[in-house]
Structure 1
Amino acid sequence: MQLVKTFSILGLLIGSIFFALSLTPSLIPRSNFMQGILAAMAFTVGYVLGVFLCWLWRYLEIPCLRTTPWQRRLFDRSVLIFCVVLIVAFLWRGVQWQNSIRALMGMEAVTSIGALSVGLTALLGFLLLWALGKGFQRIMHLVARRVEQHVPERVAVLIGASAAILLYWAVFNGVLLKTGLHIIEVVYEGFDSVTSEGLTPPTKVTKSGGVKSEVSWIDLGHFGRRFLVLGPTAADIREVAGSGIEPIRVFVGLQSASTPIKRAELALEELKRTGAFEREILLLATPTGAGWLDPGAVNSLEFLYRGNTAIVAGQYSFLPSPVALWADDTYGLESARALFKVIYDYWVTLPADGRPRFYLFGLSLGAQLSENSFDFYDIIDDPIGGALWAGPPFGTGLWARITNNRDPGTPAWLPQFKGGSVVRFGNQYGGYIGQEPWGRFRIAYLQHASDPIVFFDIRWVVQKPGWLDTPRGPDVSPDLKWYPIVTGLQLFADLNVGIAPLSFGHRYTPKGYTEAWLALTEPENWSGEALERLEAKLKTYNVR
């Protein structure tokens, strides 16, 4: 058979098994297109593994079973039939698996996962990757043949492989990636200059970019302008809470000053101008890559404290978080550190009984940068009130150390650490509990058990995640099983979180933020009825 002559039969077998397992559920539902991309990756990885095992078998000179040509053809055809039956059976079962996730998230059930579109997408993806692999192989052999007259055969193969790696790296990283990043940056820089229809500079002195502000409206960026204008007014707050004042919002755009330290100093001057240090709460919020702050997070805090708040943020990139993280995360970290240091150094000079309670906030990449914006040893003598970090990405830093050393018997998706005296975790179902009193300095993590941004780790390629142990998070499918390599690929595909509904995956809600702020900061005089009014009001604000 021509198919067997062209492709490795063991590669096709392992690839088909990986393809089938990729159809099983993971943390969030998948679109047909994303399932096709995932299946292509899984099949390709399985195929490469099969090819490698064949090569290793030959390299070790392990004897093969002796078979006649007829027996060989029968075996090959039997394997191919098994592969087809396996893939078809799992495509049919895939509907049930996807619906097991959708039911947990309150989504409408699907009747099909688009077997034809998934199969075609996977086939095209595999053929593209296979062609790239064959090209790599030809380059390696070409170089090896040129040098094998002068060096031993194995050294020639090593030189050929190195040459192919360097060439592919130069093309994909040095040309395609850099060109792609440049195009994306130009596009998003243009988007950053666009002002949403109907937005005009603030007319109140409590906002940057408006009356008496040293920050230019045009330099604030797209999301900075929205942040300053679209929040609740004093009238909105009084409608819900019975009393309220105009909240203070300060924002400094990437073009507001030339360096991170100058932007931080400008932000501090804006805080002084607006009277921010006379408010009850001062929040330093670190946005996502392009400067976006989740309205649910900042609006809820302003309502809970009846406007007696000041929120400050600074833009550090034009790019969305994933691209900003890939392109250069050091500049964002430099900006976050500069802003914290400048504001904290001024805050500690104020009388302790007359200054605002100082908190940090960050979502996703913003949470990671906020966490790394200060050193605990720098604030130990005069600590801030604490921090709320939502959806911290990829299990790194402080989050990882706490989760890995959690109190025995507590689950990885909602851990307790040292009785909850400093750090507590919560999700859309509650949490923020501890066996010890919550101290003066507090950290709250808001995370969904179904959030792949939080729980993705390259280790899950070869190691079962702790968050799959019993008991599982309420929003994690009981049909989710760990498979070596495949589960890691599934979680990688889940990073495309767009299909997850609100309150699941990486999509956090105003209600979730409200519960987190209530636990972390303990605002006074909020009845159950008032909180219901607040929940209804927060839903009326734009989420982007």
Structure 2
Amino acid sequence: MLDTAGERVPVPEGTPQSASDPPWRRAGRQALAVAARPYWDRRDASWLVRRWPDLTATAVATVFFWLSLTPSLVPRPWYLQGVIGGITAAIGYGIGCLLSWAGPAVVRWRAGPETRRRVRARAWQVYWVLSLSLTVFLLGESARMQRELRELQGLPPTLTWHSIMITLLALGLCWSLLILARLIRLGTRKLITVLLRYVPRPVAVVSGLAISVLVVTFGAKDVVLERGIIDVASRIAANTDRSTKEGVVQSGSPYVSGSPQSLIDWDDLGYQGRNFTGSVLTAEQISAFTGEEASAPIRVYVGRAAAESYAEQAALAIAELERTGAFDREVLAIAGTTGSGWIDARTAEPLEYLYNGDTAIVALQYSYLPSWVSFVVDRQEAGRATSELVAAVQQRLAELPEEGRPKLVVFGESMGATAVEDSFDGIADLLASTDGALLVGPPHYSPIWSEVTEARDPGSPVWRPVYEDGEHVRFAQYPQRDLGRPEGPWGWPRVVYLQNASDPIVWWSPDLALQPPAWLDEPLGPGVTDEVNWFPFVTFWQTTVDMGMSYGVDAPHGHRYGTNAVEGWAAVLPPEGWTHADTLRLKEHAEARESPY
């Protein structure tokens, strides 16, 4: 019987053997035989390099690298291709090691040492000939597929694709990860060897593995991630939150938070709060578009530094809404913010234009961290903060006469959409509690989005689902076309999701590692190349990296939605007398106006 190094090991006494034994029984005997060897008899000093690399593992790692060269949702630069290739090759090597270990236990190969060495040498020769030629060919093919994907999504097809650098970067990262894994395994063996001096073997093995898992988990999560990467990101975000974007100044409008008349100090708004309030549209700007006398829009924003708790922030927001006269406006909108507190001007401004400035928008900042850090640290914070605000606004509105209340709408983009959804108990509650919602690029874990998508009408694709014949909820990537489907009646209130088929933030999920996603079912969505495929582990890492590149394309692709909020708001809550021509004119105006932040 052979161990993992190809050497014969004694079979435990009393273990029955038969050539007709099923593979699972032979595998069990193999595992028992390897485990029976004392740890102190193993050549740990040379184990790190002995018979490394393994042929089977190397071949599987190479295949995983090849698979990583396939396109995904958005185009990627060469250096990120190298990162994906290195990570997936390391995963492939680990799977290959498992196959290499299990092979002798499942398949009996009766051959002498000389024959095995000769076959192994020939196999390596075949590997080098095939792997080198196929790698060169597939790197060229990957460049072609990336160019075609760029052209499909409206980008120039020109592409810098350093094939040699991709290979070297992937190889270096893969080897670094493998060396780290081997060092961890070697350290675990050493620990078990020490424990064997004091406790029985089963206790030593279980304790050693448990300690190793705890140390690695603690080191990766608490030291590397939280005290390393996240701590650095937090420090940078904290410094940014205290600053102000160039060109943004304190507003003099009494209808804006942070103004001299406001209950909230300018310094307590945070970076994104100062951007949002300092770039507010003026009544003159709105009048120049509408041709009518306009009101100055109300923007209430409560920064994280303005109060100790979310409840206190919400109470301060209500007081600020009272001060500005927001409850006398025609429309009151609650905005969900992203991790840093960001609100997209291209989503907020169309509503203010639609209603000639007779609007009020209110939002809370729950964090100054980037969204990905907020997701890792505590994703629930977004929902807790927004829920407090929604509950406080609803309570105040309930105190007003029904005929005198403003229309209540909610909106949010990305993590802000999730924050809004977390504030309601499902789609029925959202429809019953508001006069409409505009949700842009919701992440895959958004609760109402998941509810609606899973319950979509049969035959509708996941990237453009039809829910209950589109009676209240509709999805759009090209709103002028998509919001008109299905052709059945569209009742009130309305919920519009702006959702791109190629948005990795919408489609990323841990399930991608082991389960094919529904967004790859035929027919594929707009902007998704037919050369994209699902591969275990590989697609997960491709989509993970895609999230970082989702802003590198033009709308409506990736996580870019441009001015689609114009059609979104015009569908959700059009003013009386609003026409399709008005929508087109506002969209043209929005496209000509550069976003202030």
Q: Give the TM-score band, short-chain normalised.
A: over 0.9
Match of 2:233? 184
Which deviates the most, 524-533 or 217-226?
A: 524-533
1:210 to 248, 259, 275: 259
Distance in 2 between residues matched to 1:5 and 1:442, nearest whole Å: 64
Q: CA 1:212–1:366 in structure 2 vs 1: closer, same or farther (change >3 Å)?
A: same
TM-superposition CA deviations, 1:468-491 (whole Å, max 9, x none) = 222211111111122233222211
Match of 2:314? 264
Specify the SS of the correspondent of 1:284.
strand
Specify the SS of the correspondent of 2:90.
helix
Specify the SS of the correspondent of 1:6.
coil
Q: CA 1:65–1:362 in structure 2 vs 1: closer, same or farther (change >3 Å)?
A: farther
Indicate if the aligned counterparts of 2:339 and 2:374 stay in contact, CA closer than 8 A.
Answer: yes
TM-superposition CA deviations, 1:30-88 (whole Å, max 9, x none) = 01111111111111111110011222335x46423633422220112212332222222
Q: Does 1:468 align with 2:520?
A: yes
Q: CA 1:4–1:524 in structure 2 vs 1: closer, same or farther (change >3 Å)?
A: farther
Q: Does 1:199 align with 2:252?
A: no
For the aligned residue pairs, the C-alpha RMSD in angstroms reads 2.3
- 1:131-530 matched pairs, under 5 angstroms: 131-148=179-196, 156-180=204-228, 181-243=230-292, 244-375=294-425, 383-428=433-478, 430-432=481-483, 433-434=485-486, 436-496=488-548, 497-510=550-563, 512-527=564-579, 529-530=581-582
Match of 1:98? 146
Identity %: 33
Displacement of 1:19 in angstroms is: 0.6
Distance in 2 between residues matched to 1:376 and 1:479, nearest whole Å: 36
Match of 2:175? 127
Q: CA 1:331–1:112 in structure 2 vs 1: closer, same or farther (change >3 Å)?
A: closer
Distance in 2 between residues matched to 1:369 and 1:464, nearest whole Å: 27
Q: Does 1:12 align with 2:58?
A: yes
Specify the SS of the correspondent of 2:497.
strand
Consecutive unaligned residues of structure 2, counting only runs of 5 or more, are 1-47
TM-superposition CA deviations, 1:277-305 (whole Å, max 9, x none) = 11111100011111110110001111122
Match of 2:96? 50
Which deviates the most, 372-381 or 245-254?
A: 372-381
TM-superposition CA deviations, 1:460-508 (whole Å, max 9, x none) = 2232222222221111111112223322221122121242233211112
TM-superposition CA deviations, 1:303-358 (whole Å, max 9, x none) = 12211111001111010111111112233322111111111111122222211110
Specify the SS of the correspondent of 2:444.
helix
- 1:99-118 matched pairs, under 5 angstroms: 99-118=147-166
Specify the SS of the correspondent of 1:358.
strand
Distance in 2 between residues matched to 1:119 and 1:276, nearest whole Å: 59
Displacement of 1:260 in angstroms is: 0.6
Specify the SS of the correspondent of 2:540.
helix
2:82 partner amino acid? G
Specify the SS of the correspondent of 1:475.
coil
2:128 partner amino acid? L
Specify the SS of the correspondent of 1:522.
coil
Indicate if the aligned counterparts of 1:367 and 1:390 stay in contact, CA closer than 8 A.
Answer: yes
Which deviates the most, 170-179 or 148-157?
A: 148-157
Q: Does 1:78 align with 2:146?
A: no
Match of 1:38? 84
1:467 partner amino acid? W
Indicate if the aligned counterparts of 2:282 and 2:296 stay in contact, CA closer than 8 A.
Answer: yes
Indicate if the aligned counterparts of 1:100 and 1:479 stay in contact, CA closer than 8 A.
Answer: no
Displacement of 1:537 in angstroms is: 2.9
Which deviates the most, 282-291 or 137-146?
A: 137-146
Indicate if the aligned counterparts of 2:256 and 2:277 stay in contact, CA closer than 8 A.
Answer: yes
Distance in 2 between residues matched to 1:378 and 1:518, nearest whole Å: 22
Indicate if the aligned counterparts of 1:413 and 1:449 stay in contact, CA closer than 8 A.
Answer: yes
Question: How many corresponding residue pairs?
Answer: 541
TM-superposition CA deviations, 1:363-411 (whole Å, max 9, x none) = 1111111100133599589621122111111244221222122101111
Distance in 1 between residues matched to 2:69 and 2:543, nearest whole Å: 12
Displacement of 1:117 in angstroms is: 1.9
Distance in 2 between residues matched to 1:381 and 1:387, nearest whole Å: 8
Indicate if the aligned counterparts of 2:382 and 2:416 stay in contact, CA closer than 8 A.
Answer: no
Specify the SS of the correspondent of 2:404.
coil
Which deviates the most, 41-50 or 235-244?
A: 235-244
1:413 partner amino acid? W
1:71 partner amino acid? V
Distance in 1 between residues matched to 2:497 and 2:102, nearest whole Å: 47
Specify the SS of the correspondent of 1:406.
coil
Indicate if the aligned counterparts of 1:367 and 1:391 stay in contact, CA closer than 8 A.
Answer: yes
Specify the SS of the correspondent of 1:197.
coil
Task: State the structure with more CA Rg.
Answer: 2
Q: CA 1:208–1:427 in structure 2 vs 1: closer, same or farther (change >3 Å)?
A: same
Which deviates the most, 129-138 or 373-382?
A: 373-382
TM-superposition CA deviations, 1:518-541 (whole Å, max 9, x none) = 111123444555444422332323
Match of 1:63? 108
Q: CA 1:86–1:319 in structure 2 vs 1: closer, same or farther (change >3 Å)?
A: same
Q: CA 1:68–1:252 in structure 2 vs 1: closer, same or farther (change >3 Å)?
A: closer
TM-score, scaled to structure 2: 0.86
TM-superposition CA deviations, 1:115-174 (whole Å, max 9, x none) = 122112111211211111011111111122223456665664443332222111222222
Indicate if the aligned counterparts of 1:395 and 1:455 stay in contact, CA closer than 8 A.
Answer: no
Select the structure with the greater relative contact order (CA < 8 A; seq sep ≥ 6).
Answer: 1
Specify the SS of the correspondent of 1:534.
helix
Distance in 2 between residues matched to 1:410 and 1:112, nearest whole Å: 38
Specify the SS of the correspondent of 1:484.
coil
Indicate if the aligned counterparts of 1:17 and 1:86 stay in contact, CA closer than 8 A.
Answer: no
Indicate if the aligned counterparts of 1:192 and 1:222 stay in contact, CA closer than 8 A.
Answer: yes
Distance in 1 between residues matched to 2:363 and 2:493, nearest whole Å: 21
Which deviates the most, 167-176 or 134-143?
A: 167-176
